[in-house]
Amino acid sequence: MPRISRDDVAHVAHLARLRLSDEELERFTDQLGAVLEHAADIEALDIDDVPPTSHPYPLANVMRDDEVRPSLDRDEALAAAPDVEDHRFKVPPVLGEPP
């Protein structure tokens, strides 16, 4: 039984906003299956009681002083955008029919 099906890969590609050709879908299904198969060694470990580590160094709730200070200029922040209108990022329609 393969670890990941072609349908799974197609679903994951959609979630990740990637379009795959049939050939890519085939290849990625095999390759992702091989990596997940390798990871099967940790699946077998009985470690329910072990706490997870998300971050290697114990720092928590790092705050800065609540003071006004300079930040990136708006025009600079917009300068690299593909499309801008009225000092805002402009995108194609999100809802409804395209114009």
Partner 1 sequence: MSTAREIAEAVRSGGRSAREVVDESLAAIAARNGELNAFLTVTADDARAAADDIDRRVAAGEDPGPLAGVPVALKDNLCTRGIPTTCSSRILEGWQPPYDATVVARLAAAGAVAVGKTNLDEFAMGSSTENSAFGSTRNPHDPAKVPGGSSGGSTAAVAAGLCPVGLGSDTGGSIRQPAALCGAVGLKPTYGRVSRFGLVAFASSLDQIGPITATVADAATVLEAIAGHDPLDSTSIPEPVPDLVEGLDQGIEGLRIGVLRELLDADGVASDVKARTTEAIDALDAAGAKVEEASVPATVYGLSAYYVIAPAEASSNLARYDGVRYGLRVDAPTSAEMNEATRTDGFGPEVKRRIMLGTYALSAGYYDAYYGKAQKVRTLIIRDFDAAYDTFDLLVAPTSPTTAFDLGAKTADPLTMYLNDVCTIPSNLAGHPAISVPFGTGDDGLPVGVQVLAPALAEPTMLRAAAVLEAAAPRGAGGLRGRGPQGTAP
Site residues for partner 1 per CB under 8 A: 4, 8-9, 12-13, 15-20, 24, 28, 31-32, 34-36, 38-43, 45, 47, 50-57, 59, 62, 64, 72-73, 76-77, 79-83, 89, 91-94, 98
Least Å distance, CB 14 to partner 1, is 8
The answer to whether 27 and 12 are in contact (CB under 8 A) is no
Q: What minimum distance in Å lies between the beta carbon of 7 and partner 1? A: 12
Nearest to 9, CA basis, from 23, 36, 29, 27: 29
